[in-house]
Amino acid sequence: MRTSATSTSALLFCVLWLLSATAHAHDLKVERSIIAQVHATKVQILVIYNEAPGDRSERFMAKYDVNRNARIDGSEVLLATPEISRLALLGLEFEVEGEKPKMLPPEVKFENKPGKPVSAAILLTYELDAVPQRTLHIRQKPAKGLPETTVAIEAGEGLTISNSSGAASTRTTAPLRLTPGDKISVTFAASREPPSR
């Protein structure tokens, strides 16, 4: 499966969203980061996207902030989801090697800070059959104008990282840089460790 583009617990979504705030403390350009979790029966990918300040963010708000409250909320989220998803996922490809996962509808959350650039998190969930080993590939196309992307990949309960040049442990990679033309591949295997309680 390869796609150019979804559900996890509300707790995970909120925790990762809060963590992203410290990763984007300066508003100079488009910024993007990815946190991927690979589980026995699903892969979840959180893409955190910060639009460039100035004209780009102002045009986005002018188009989708219908009630002019300086926020993308309520029914505006549904209206803005296709465009923010396109921007956030531009140039990215996700592949679970040799598998054909079912993609669930993406979840989108906007962070609204008056006077700050547009910021959103897009959560992608792919459902899979349980297998003893799987490999996740994340690619960025070799095109001009794409942002450098920070990537972290984690093993869900019952899995460990068995092959990755950027692994910080058997459960997570160190933060990795994905630039245009790059590919990150991580292989996971069933853990022999007893499940946590």
How many residues are present in the chain? 197
In the β-sheet with 159-163, what is the strand arrangement from edge to edge?
Answer: 2-3, 92-96, 133-140, 183-190, 159-163
Q: What is the largest CA-CA distance in the chain?
A: 54
This prediction has a pTM of 0.82
Q: What is the pLDDT of residue 106?
A: 92
Print pLDDT tens along the chain (197 aa).
444 443 344 444 544 454 444 444 444 589 999 999 999 999 999 999 999 888 999 999 999 999 999 999 999 999 999 999 999 999 999 999 998 889 999 999 998 777 789 999 999 999 999 888 999 999 999 888 888 899 999 998 888 998 876 666 788 888 899 988 999 999 999 876 554 44
Predicted local distance difference test score (pLDDT) of residue 105: 92
What pLDDT was estimated at residue 4? 44
pLDDT of residue 28: 59
**DSSP state at residue 104:** P
Residue 50, beta-bridge partner list: 31, 119
Nearest-angstrom CA–CA distance, 36 and 114: 29
Q: How confident is the model at residue 168, as a pLDDT?
A: 66
* Strands of the chain, DSSP E: 2-3, 31-38, 42-50, 92-96, 102-103, 107-111, 119-127, 133-140, 149-155, 159-163, 176-178, 183-190
